[in-house]
Amino acid sequence: MLSKEGCLKAIEILRQRLKSIEKKDFYLSIPLNMLPISPRGCNALMTKNLTTVKSVIEYGLDNIHLLKGMGPVTENELTSLFKKILEKKELLNGLSEQQLQITLFT
């Protein structure tokens, strides 16, 4: 049985682990309206209710061409952007909206 101090210490360790997990996967919860996506690309994603980076990744980059109204230019725009996000995911965690835009445009 843990003492009160031991319980408090265990709770603090669990809180720290939870914070690190949340930071690690922050990029997955980025809403699409924060990303540099054309109106056509945004509309195509919205037809399937894809609203976050996570939902697009789960849908699959290989399936983007199947979205309604998807042409080759928009497909290229979206696949390039999401590949870039996956490559830079460690850099994206914890960024502000302005920092996010700068990181994705460079």
For residue range 73-94, list pLDDT tens digits in order: 999 999 998 888 887 776 666 6
Q: What confidence score (pLDDT) does residue 30 get?
A: 80
Record the tokens describing residue 3, joined without a space.
């003492």
pLDDT for the residue 20: 57
Place of tokens 């195509």: 44
Instruction: pLDDT tens for the chain, 106 residues: list them.
Output: 678 887 788 788 877 766 655 555 667 778 888 888 999 999 999 999 999 888 998 898 889 989 888 899 999 999 998 888 887 776 666 666 566 666 665 5
Alpha carbons within 13 angstroms on the beta-carbon side of residue 70 total 19
Predicted TM-score of the model (pTM): 0.64
The tokens describing 48, both together, are 């399937």
Question: Which letter does DSSP use for residue 31 in this model?
Answer: B
Residue 32: CB atoms within 10 Å: 18
CB 44 within 8 A of CB 35: no
